[in-house]
Amino acid sequence: MKKLLWASLVGMILVLGACGGGDDESGNGGESEDTGSEESSFDGDVAAAEEVFQQNCASCHGGDMEGNVGPALTEIGSKYSADEIQSIIQEGKGSMSAQNVEESDAELVASWLATME
């Protein structure tokens, strides 16, 4: 029983550590955002960007970007440019490891997230 408990504990630590949990970049305390104005400044396919986000990012950053294990991304565009966000996705930062996504998907999501201010 102790081995099962320890294995579960170590597994949870690894999962939580891989997704982040460092700095809360938005500082909005979980407030919901008005995405209508942000999405209007995004020139790409919003539905495609949201789909990539849901498939690759939402498990750590929350389905509504409110944060979960990883920090909230609701205002990430006020802190980082699209190029910086893409670099973070592809190379990792802090406790977030590099993500295994196509470069075009990383670019699409980064451009979309950069409009979140």
Instruction: Give the chain's domain count.
Output: 1
Helices and strands counted in the chain (H then E): 6, 0
Half-sphere exposure of 70 (CA within 13 A, CB side): 25
Structure tokens given for 106:
């990383």
pLDDT 10s digits, 27-67: 444 444 444 444 447 888 999 999 999 999 999 999 999 99
pLDDT 10s digits, 5-21: 777 766 667 666 666 55
CATH number of the structural domain spanning residue 15 = 1.10.760.10
Domain that residue 72 falls in: 2-113
What's phi and psi for 73, nearest 5 deg?
-120, 15
Give the global pTM. Answer: 0.65
Contact of 37 with 77, CB cutoff 8 Å: no
